[in-house]
Structure 1
Amino acid sequence: MITNQLLDLLKNLPFKNLDLLSVGVTIAAIGILGFVIYLSDKKSVTNKSFLYLAISAAFWSIFNYASYQSNSIYATLILLRLLMFSAVWFAFSLFQLLYVFPKKEFKFPVWYKFILTPVVIGVLVLTLTHLVFSSIVGEVKAGQVASVAKGPGIIAFAVLVFFLVGGGIYNFINKVIKTNKIERKQSMLVMKGIIITFTLIIFLNFILPAFLNIYIFIPFGAFFVFPFVAFTGYAIYKHKLFNLRTAAVAGLTFALSIVSFSEIIFAQDISAVIYRSSVFMIVLIISFLMNKFVQTIAEQREQLQIVNEQQTNLLNFITHQVKGFFTKSKYIFSALVEGDYGRLEDKMETAVKEGLRSDNEGIDMVQNVLSAANIKRGTMEYNIAAMDLRHLILDVVSEQKKNAEAKGLSFETDIREGDYNISGDSFQIKNVIKNLIDNSIKYTPAGKITVSLSKNNGKILFSVKDTGVGLTKEDKEKLFTEGGKGKNSQKVNVDSTGFGLFIAKSIVEAHNGRIWAESEGEGKGSRFFVELAAA
């Protein structure tokens, strides 16, 4: 009883234009899909062919619906001929898509240009004459499919359409067989949709009405395009063939189009249908523009990535060259300081030592730029092996203590005894420790530097504390970012690149560790921590 009541309720709902709704949904789906695919690469012959197919499918759906909406015999006959015209166009567009797929560039052979294309044009013209549909048989009533008398040209139409659809599918299957496993899965999803769609259209919308005078399936013609749209859309979603943001916008705009068009099924008169159809067209146009805008942004982002990659490669080349020059002069200065070329005069020795110091700083700066570039590209290499962190820190401390004392700073250590073995890249970890201690020395005008090392609960904690310029709240937000510099960094260290802590953070995190800084404020010193897991 409840079931009967539900059926009665559904029958009484004002759904008078479900066939028109199917046309709207089809146009929105195939139109947006074709537009998005075309925009993803406008120069691709495959993408252009898909757009042609989408347009022809939309026109075929429109003429299929319009062919049984008129009370005029003459208008109905014209619309039926236009339906046959669009069917040939639809089949030819499918053949071209399957023939050129998946190439971006394609040179059509002589037989395609001078045999097939003229034949298709000839049959297109033929469909608009009495040779395919000669006249309407019986009465014509809006909402009912009219009977039509066929001419001899219907055979030429049938042969061509069967050749285009069958030949296109056969050629496509041969291509798919030769592809790799992943491409085969992508292609077969699209192939399934094409076979289902054109089997339904040819059998139910052509063979039955043309040869058996069975017309009841013609109003459902637009629905038959859905398998192709659904399988193609699923292939795009499953195999991520397009940018996720582009696909999301396409889905959103399709949903908006359907919501606006769905109101048509409640329309009670022709004026309401026209008004709501106009709203749908406006929404559809806006949808196309939105997809174009998003695709343009995606293309610009890709171009920017290419430019950034080129700039990074150029930067790597230049910095490698500069580092080479610094290294050569460093060896010369080092040899002079070591007395390999004899004893130097006091003034000369001072100048040579300054040159060696400057070269070392230059090499460090260039290395920082190179490391930052490699981190951004994801090409930073780590040679992980067992290492003694305590021994490494003591080596760095012995080097840096001289620099601190030369500046008049007190340098203390709180490095406890114990096992401080970790798994890591000793070269990169040493750079982190050296960078943190070196920064403390540079940014401490007077006072004390304290280096600490301890171990607790399987974690090794290193820290360097100073009585220097300190950190403001704004400084802390910028500290470990690329090019991030503190408020007073340029005043204290004019050579600061802002890459040091960014690199240190990347290295520590690559070792599954943590790095952070604490400070009570400007002028109150700071303390930097590195926490790593013990081996």
Structure 2
Amino acid sequence: MTYIQVEFPLFVIAIIANISLGIIVLRYSPKSVSRYLFGAFVLSQVFWIGTNFAAFVGNNFLWLARLTMLFAALHAFFFFLFIYTFLEKRKVLTSKLLTPLIVFLVVIIALTLSPLIFEKLEPNQSGSLGPKPGPAIPFFGIFVGGCILWAFYSLVKKYQKSEGVEKLQWRYLSFGLVFTFLLVLVFSFFNYVIFEDLSTVRLGHLYTLPFIVFTTYAMVKHRLLNLKAILAELAVILLNITIFIQLLTSESVRQILVNGVVLIGTIVTGLLVIRGVTKEIKQREQLQELSEKLQKANTELESLSRFKSQMLALSAHQIKAPLATIKGFASIIMDGIYGPINDKIKETLQKMKNSADELINLINTLLDLRKVEEGKMDYKFENVKIKDLVQNVIDGLKVQADAKKLEFSFTSGTEASVSADPQKLKQVLANLVENSIKYTPQGFVKVETKEENGYVTFSVTDSGLGIGPTLLPHLFDQEFIRDERVKKEIKGTGLGLYIAKRIVTDHAGTIWAESPGEGKGSKFFVKLRKIT
């Protein structure tokens, strides 16, 4: 058996393989520009090998050779566009890129159909007739070679950036494309242009097989496409073909009826199976698309959050400086350094100083919130005697309690120490005591510490406004301050308890609150493990 005898069957196999691959990709790959570009690439490849084969078996060799060059230019053009866009999550084809390429392509197509590419047929070195290359052949080579080299450059870059299964998919796709284009360039272009040998040019359909084989292997082995759907349709088609053949070869009316009913049943069942599989694939694609959109939105939100935090920190630091200056000058004037002042002016300056203190505290709270949200709260742990720390808090807030004529007391039931950042823990305890003073119009605020079962518990009890049962479980949540009922009652940002909980949690402790109800006072607790 000679090659001439099997050449046409091999050509048909190559055509069927190329068309089948193109249909499979167009049907089952995710919706994207690269899917259609792949279809155009395969279609131009089919026309290229078709006209190339026809040129050697037909009667009009010159025109068929020119058409072969036309489809070769389209083949290289769509190959570049496909590789350039494949697996991209963003739009990469721009008018700046496409416009000059399309103009160049149109010029090359016009040249391929003119004598400037192939002038005429003339005997070559082997004695057979072949097309004589025209003066525009170098321009054709520049365009086709440029598209292929640019595509392979993009292919190498994307392969280096890819990871995991995606890298394996690129690897096998690259192998197939490299082998195919090397065979085409060496045996279909250089072999004829340099050595005027047409014997290997007619084998163009075989040069596409490496691309078909490696791409198919990538689809099957590494899930380049959804193999489940492809196999489902193939199985249904093969089953129906088998039953149809049985129907055609039936020898009796009974067999015809049985096989006919079975065929109808398998067709209906097969369509339902294919419909179900296709629906599942679409749902997965939609889920993947939603997941990608959600990931993109999360990335944008994180970027906005970082920007917000940076602006907050910058603004806070810029505001604190003049506030400290205002507070400092108010203290200097109150101390009489610039001369004696009357009580009314002193009272006004005290209000200014208090307002400055409130603003500075607010700024510090916002800065702490930023640190908590970003996980950047710094701690310097050391052994802290809880009695001394609480006494320091009491001394600092006694003026506020006395101003409201509250019964303000501290009972210490332990001399134990805890491992804590003294400044951060003092901030928590001061916030709880200050809140009790703030929300207690009259009555008492009692602070207590005690030791039990290896833990030290700090508590502050007041006879103030109390906490309703619906709000009590959410006191330490950030969402707490968004409750309209809470906004009407709170006299600050409401962020102090949220920050306090995060600080206590970072100290491996617990914080909670208890209250019999609105108007019945409340009690806050902080529990930390003592140092043994």
**TM class, shorter-length:** 0.5 to 0.7
- Residues 488-524 of structure 1 show CA distances to partners (whole Å, capped at 9, x for unaligned) of 655554x321221122223223334332222233233
**Which one of the candidate residues 356, 366, 378 is aligned to 1:369?**
366
The residue aligned with 2:447 is 451
| C-alpha spacing 1:472/1:225, structure 2 compared with 1 (3 Å) | farther
Tell whether the 8 Å contact from 1:30 to 1:57 is kept in structure 2 after alignment: no
Secondary structure of 2:472's match?
helix
**Which one of the candidate residues 23, 37, 51 is aligned to 1:56?**
37
| C-alpha spacing 1:417/1:90, structure 2 compared with 1 (3 Å) | same
| C-alpha spacing 1:184/1:63, structure 2 compared with 1 (3 Å) | closer
Secondary structure of 1:498's match?
coil
Shift of 1:310: 4.2
The residue aligned with 2:495 is 499
The residue aligned with 2:233 is 263
Matches of 1:125 and 1:481, distance apart in 2 = 73
Task: Report whether the alignment pairs 1:475 with 2:471.
Answer: yes
Shift of 1:120: 9.2
Tell whether the 8 Å contact from 1:450 to 1:466 is kept in structure 2 after alignment: yes
- Residues 201-243 of structure 1 show CA distances to partners (whole Å, capped at 9, x for unaligned) of 4589997997685978978965633577899999xxxxxxxxx
The residue aligned with 2:10 is none
Tell whether the 8 Å contact from 1:409 to 1:449 is kept in structure 2 after alignment: yes
Matches of 2:78 and 2:206, distance apart in 1 = 22
Tell whether the 8 Å contact from 1:465 to 1:525 is kept in structure 2 after alignment: yes
Secondary structure of 1:408's match?
coil
Secondary structure of 1:474's match?
coil
TM-score for both structures, normalised by structure 2: 0.62
Matches of 1:334 and 1:289, distance apart in 2 = 65
**Which one of the candidate residues 424, 428, 431 is aligned to 2:427?**
431
Q: Per chain length, whose mean CA-contact separation is higher, i.e. which structure has more relative contact order (CA < 8 Å, sep 6+)?
A: 1
The residue aligned with 2:175 is 196
- Percent of matched pairs sharing the same residue: 21
- Residues 89-125 of structure 1 show CA distances to partners (whole Å, capped at 9, x for unaligned) of 3433367679x9x99899999xx969x9847962798
Shift of 1:188: 6.8
Matches of 2:418 and 2:150, distance apart in 1 = 69
The residue aligned with 2:457 is 461
Matches of 2:132 and 2:293, distance apart in 1 = 46
**Which one of the candidate residues 345, 356, 359 is aligned to 2:356?**
359
How many residue pairs match? The answer is 444
Matches within 5 A, 1:323-342: 323-341=320-338
Shift of 1:436: 0.9
| C-alpha spacing 1:338/1:160, structure 2 compared with 1 (3 Å) | closer
The residue aligned with 2:250 is none
Shift of 1:432: 1.4
Matches of 1:21 and 1:522, distance apart in 2 = 75
- Residues 158-192 of structure 1 show CA distances to partners (whole Å, capped at 9, x for unaligned) of 9986775467546875x799xxxx95978976763
Shift of 1:402: 3.3
Secondary structure of 1:427's match?
helix
Matches of 1:497 and 1:344, distance apart in 2 = 35
Shift of 1:317: 3.8
| C-alpha spacing 1:375/1:88, structure 2 compared with 1 (3 Å) | same
Secondary structure of 1:473's match?
coil
Matches within 5 A, 1:28-427: 31-32=30-31, 35=32, 51=33, 54-61=35-42, 87-93=75-81, 118=104, 122=108, 126=112, 165=148, 168-169=151-152, 192-199=171-178, 201-202=180-181, 224-225=214-215, 259=229, 262-263=232-233, 265-267=235-237, 268=240, 299=296, 301-341=298-338, 344-376=341-373, 378=374, 380-390=376-386, 391-424=388-421, 426-427=422-423
Tell whether the 8 Å contact from 2:384 to 2:419 is kept in structure 1 after alignment: yes
**Which one of the candidate residues 488, 513, 528 is aligned to 2:524?**
528
Tell whether the 8 Å contact from 1:452 to 1:462 is kept in structure 2 after alignment: yes
| C-alpha spacing 1:469/1:513, structure 2 compared with 1 (3 Å) | same
Greater shift in the superposed pair: 184-193 or 355-364: 184-193
Matches of 1:105 and 1:352, distance apart in 2 = 67
Secondary structure of 2:480's match?
coil
Shift of 1:527: 2.2
Highest Rg: 1 or 2? 2
Secondary structure of 1:484's match?
helix
Matches of 2:17 and 2:409, distance apart in 1 = 84
| C-alpha spacing 1:324/1:438, structure 2 compared with 1 (3 Å) | same
Tell whether the 8 Å contact from 2:83 to 2:154 is kept in structure 1 after alignment: no
Matches of 2:390 and 2:446, distance apart in 1 = 13
The residue aligned with 1:38 is none
Tell whether the 8 Å contact from 1:460 to 1:534 is kept in structure 2 after alignment: yes
| C-alpha spacing 1:151/1:122, structure 2 compared with 1 (3 Å) | farther
Greater shift in the superposed pair: 21-30 or 474-483: 21-30
Matches of 1:66 and 1:24, distance apart in 2 = 15
| C-alpha spacing 1:322/1:259, structure 2 compared with 1 (3 Å) | same
TM-score for both structures, normalised by structure 1: 0.62
Matches of 1:204 and 1:262, distance apart in 2 = 35
Matches of 2:471 and 2:289, distance apart in 1 = 41
Tell whether the 8 Å contact from 2:406 to 2:443 is kept in structure 1 after alignment: yes
**RMSD value, Cα:** 5.8
Amino acid at match of 1:196: F
Matches of 2:43 and 2:284, distance apart in 1 = 19
| C-alpha spacing 1:434/1:64, structure 2 compared with 1 (3 Å) | same
Shift of 1:446: 2.8
- Residues 12-69 of structure 1 show CA distances to partners (whole Å, capped at 9, x for unaligned) of xxxxx9998755553366544xx4xxxxxxxxxxxxxxx55x5332333467789999
Matches within 5 A, 1:15-34: 23=22, 25-27=24-26, 31-32=30-31
> Which sections of structure 2, spanning at least 5 residues, go unmatched?
1-15, 59-63, 119-128, 189-198, 245-263
Shift of 1:420: 1.1
